[in-house]
């Protein structure tokens, strides 16, 4: 497999694509685009990103502040799927990308208790079911018929009772006319300084006769000691948190839950200590004050969170907390790696 190392520390001001990548302008359109983690990944890999669908007006405003997209639909994917006025370019896509909200399948979430129920995100979005959004996205695939369709979600989608959803997704891809492959990838092996496992369904339209996609990334893990504190305020822990930090350092234990268990309590299992020698744990939109560093016994600064998520250091968060938006996004470098291989192995042979 041809390899290219996309640097996790980068700036929008340097432009697209990444240095050493040839711009080929294969066309991509996104759904559930959030702040544009995936969008930036495709552009780093030489694609033309046409825009996307985002239900949240506040997040869409952040997207607009950082991306010059031709088409941006600020609406529910269900509304988008009913549209009959879409531009012709959207029916001639090389890749359709989608990352439906994953809290329904996350092992850290409510999982089965939330399946089939409506929920309102704190951003102020409308009340809606989340577990069926993966199938709404398949409807988008059927509508636009891209050459390649990619669906990203959490590892929990292929674990436990959620496996039934995964099987149904695979079946729906097949019914839509796509040969689908399932990949479980860890961003830490792809040049991202973060342990972040994600599932990718990648379908090739079955009128193309090409070998199966091979995705085998083995980049050297990037330890947290390489992450620089370039800007941002330190979050100082309270007395209880500091006791936990000191205990974890003394016992070489990253899990705060073990600290509480040492005196008979069951709590703190989402709180982690980042050792300098280790890769940072998964950054989520919820753990703003749940990740602490060995180096200064403080929480992540903005610049540290940005680097861990492989976002550009000059990204305009438009007043939003960087860790919140980065935690909701697919790391740009993760998508850049995948998109680069899709181009090298498939698209360059059918353009």
Task: Find out whether 135 and 168 touch, Cβ atoms under 8 Å.
Answer: yes
Task: Report, as an integer, the average pLDDT of 115-122.
Answer: 49
Q: What residues are labeled active site?
A: 102
Q: Percent of the chain beyond pLDDT 70?
A: 90
Match 């891809």 to its residue by tokens.
173
Two tokens at 90? 């959207």
- With a CB cutoff of 8 Å and minimum separation 6, the contacts of 89 are 27, 50, 70, 71
Return d(Cα 71, Cα 53) in angstroms, integer: 9
pLDDT band at 114, cuts 50/70/90? very low
Cα 257-188-45 angle, rounded to 5 deg? 145
Q: What is the pTM of this model?
A: 0.92
35-85 pLDDT tens trace: 999 999 999 999 999 999 999 999 999 999 999 899 999 999 999 999 999
Q: Which residue has the tokens 């990944």?
A: 41
- CATH fold of 12-218+330-349, please? Rossmann fold (3.40.50)
**What is the rounded CA–CA span in Å between residue 287 and residue 291?**
7
Helix (H, G, I), strand (E, B) or coil at 350: coil
Name the average pLDDT for the chain: 90
Q: Are 161 and 305 in contact (CB under 8 A)?
A: no
**CA–CA gap between residue 55 and residue 44 (Å, rounded):** 25
- The confidence score (pLDDT) of residue 74 equals 97
Residues 258-302 have pLDDT tens digits of: 999 999 999 888 899 999 999 999 998 877 678 999 999 999 999
Q: Which contacts of 107-116 are long-range, i.e. CB under 8 A and separated by 24 or more positions?
A: 107/154, 107/155, 107/156, 107/159, 108/270, 108/284, 109/156, 111/156, 111/160, 111/161, 111/162, 112/161
CATH code 3.40.50.150 region(s) in the chain = 12-218+330-349
């Amino acid at each position: 497999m041809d390899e290219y190392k996309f640097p996790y520390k980068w700036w929008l001001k340097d432009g697209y694509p990444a240095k050493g990548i040839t711009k080929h302008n294969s066309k991509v359109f996104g759904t559930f685009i959030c702040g544009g983690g995936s969008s930036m990944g495709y552009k780093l890999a030489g694609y033309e990103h046409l825009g996307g669908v985002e239900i949240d007006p506040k997040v869409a405003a952040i997207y607009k502040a950082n991306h010059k997209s031709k088409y941006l639909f600020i609406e529910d994917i269900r509304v988008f799927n009913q549209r009959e006025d879409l531009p012709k370019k959207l029916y001639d896509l090389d890749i359709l990308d989608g990352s439906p909200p994953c809290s329904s399948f996350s092992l850290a979430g409510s999982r089965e208790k939330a399946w089939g129920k409506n929920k309102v995100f704190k951003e102020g979005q409308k009340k809606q079911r989340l577990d069926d959004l993966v199938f709404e996205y398949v409807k988008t695939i059927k509508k636009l018929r891209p050459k390649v369709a990619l669906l990203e979600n959490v590892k929990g989608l292929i674990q436990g009772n959620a496996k039934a959803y995964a099987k149904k997704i695979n079946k729906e891809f097949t019914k839509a006319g796509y040969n689908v492959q399932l990949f479980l990838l860890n961003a830490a092996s792809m040049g991202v300084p973060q342990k972040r496992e994600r599932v990718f369904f990648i379908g090739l339209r079955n009128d193309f006769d090409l070998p199966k996609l091979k995705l085998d990334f083995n980049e050297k893990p990037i330890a947290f000691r390489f992450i620089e504190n370039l800007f941002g305020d330190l979050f100082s822990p309270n007395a209880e948190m500091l006791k936990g930090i000191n205990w974890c350092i003394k016992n070489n234990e990253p899990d705060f839950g073990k600290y509480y268990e040492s005196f008979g309590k069951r709590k703190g299992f989402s709180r982690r200590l980042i050792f300098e020698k280790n890769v940072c744990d998964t950054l989520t939109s919820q753990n703003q004050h749940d990740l602490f560093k060995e180096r200064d016994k403080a929480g992540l600064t903005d610049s540290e969170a940005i680097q861990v998520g492989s976002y550009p250091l000059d990204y305009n968060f438009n007043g939003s907390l960087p860790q919140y938006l980065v935690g909701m996004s697919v790391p740009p470098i993760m998508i850049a790696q995948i998109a680069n291989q899709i181009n090298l192995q498939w698209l360059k042979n059918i353009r």
